[in-house]
Amino acid sequence: MSVWPAWELREHGIATSWFNVRLGFGDGARVDVLAVVSGAGVSIEDVQARPPLSLDDLAVLAEWIEGPLSDACGAGPRSTGSGEGPHVPPRRARPAWPRGTEGRRLVAEEYRAAQEEGADPVFAVMRATGHSRRRALRLIAGARDAGFLTPRHVRR
């Protein structure tokens, strides 16, 4: 992870600073963040990720950048509870999802669980896999073709 100042604005004795934050992951995934630090707190102005972040990963993005951003601002290292200083958890930008038969079976389980709860099953697969709607629909079709889900339209 790297953090570097982008620019700073001082107005009426109050400083507002922008920082570029880059997170790199072992699988080649990358997240670039433009964070704004002011007296009102920290906010994220822009996020670019390759591959796209899942909703769960987007929710924990602040935790990933909090410690290194505090260091760059001069607020000191954030304690991680282990005494090791700032730390990025070893997470992927997209959750690991098995391929093949096991992946199709898990897609079917997510799909059916969402149906039973009355939720959108396609969105449930998107959230679980971290993939786009189009890719989630392909995964669902694969689960149907493998016999884990009933055919979409049953003719009578």
pLDDT over 50 at 79, yes or no? no
Per-residue 3-state assignment (H helix, E strand, C coil) for 42-55: EEEEEEEEECCCCH
Predicted local distance difference test score (pLDDT) of residue 83: 36
Comparing 65 with 117, which gets the higher pLDDT?
Answer: 117
126 has a pLDDT exceeding 90: no
Question: Cα angle at 84 between 78 and 85, to 5 degrees?
Answer: 25
Q: Assess whether pLDDT exceeds 90 at residue 57.
A: no
* Tokens representing residue 25 in the block: 């992951």
pLDDT attached to residue 39: 72
What mean pLDDT do residues 148-153 have? Answer: 84
| Band of pLDDT at residue 147, cut at 50, 70 and 90 | very high
Say how far apart CA 105 and CA 38 lie, in whole Å.
48
Helix or strand run (H / E) with residue 107: helix 100-117
pTM equals 0.46
Strands in 14-24's sheet, in edge-to-edge order, are 2-11, 14-24, 30-38, 41-50
